[in-house]
Amino acid sequence: MTYLIVVVIALGIALAWYLASIRRKKLRAWANGSGFRFDPSPNRSFDKRYPAFGCLRVGHSRYAYNVAEGTRNGRPLVAFDYRYVIGSGKNRQVRNFSGLLLGSTIRLKPLHIRSENLFDKVGEFFGLDDIDFESAEFSRAFHVKSPDKRWTYDVLHQRTIEFLLTMPRFSIQFGEREMIVWRSRRFSPETFEAAIGVAEGILDRLPEYVIQEQGGKR
């Protein structure tokens, strides 16, 4: 029985390695085809390099890998997988997700957008509400937080709201000079492209007065 368990574990590890290798080749091909630099090795600097983003500071033993860096339409771009560990001993769990960082030509303010969930509904009952919008469909679909409501409404105007309702759902957060788009699972090359589309779509739809107020230009 012990031998069988060892064999099953070994086969599981081999299968995981094989699938990771196949995925890495696909990501490298996508990165090369997009003109990005690709580095599969661990990069442990992301949590310090991008301190505004809480998803990069969860757990311990964390690092980015399969990192693709370059530019898209004049904006710096970083696509990556991320690994972190929570707990220890028998309670130790390794988790992975993918994300995309897209630079902005103007200074951004804090804003966090993600899909609404059941816990948010419970929070509303206790008065822990997020920012609501005239679009009831958008308010039901997304949980939006920011310390600056005017900035939120400037960014999430009607055209951007309609755009986000038609796009795949991601968690989105603004830093000072870049935004991050991520999910709690790993992306395929097609999903990375969808994430880029969402990030670019939001920045491209910023009103002209916002760009001027933030000291930038298109």
146: confidence class by pLDDT, cuts 50, 70, 90: very high
Q: What is the pTM of this model?
A: 0.88
Q: DSSP letters of 49-100?
A: HSTT-GGGSSSEEEEEEEEEEEEETTEEEEEEEEEEEES-GGG-EEEEEEEE
The CB density around residue 155, as the number of other CB atoms within 10 Å, is 22
In this structure, of 9-18, 39-48, 61-70, 175-184, the range with the lowest mean pLDDT score is 9-18
Q: What are the boundaries of each domain within the chain?
A: 2-213
In three-state secondary structure terms, 34 is helix
Cα separation, 159 vs 162, in Å, equals 5
Q: Are 108 and 177 in contact (CB under 8 A)?
A: yes
Give pLDDT, residue 123. Answer: 47
The CB density around residue 164, as the number of other CB atoms within 10 Å, is 22
The CB density around residue 67, as the number of other CB atoms within 10 Å, is 22
Query: Bigger pLDDT: 1 or 155?
Result: 155
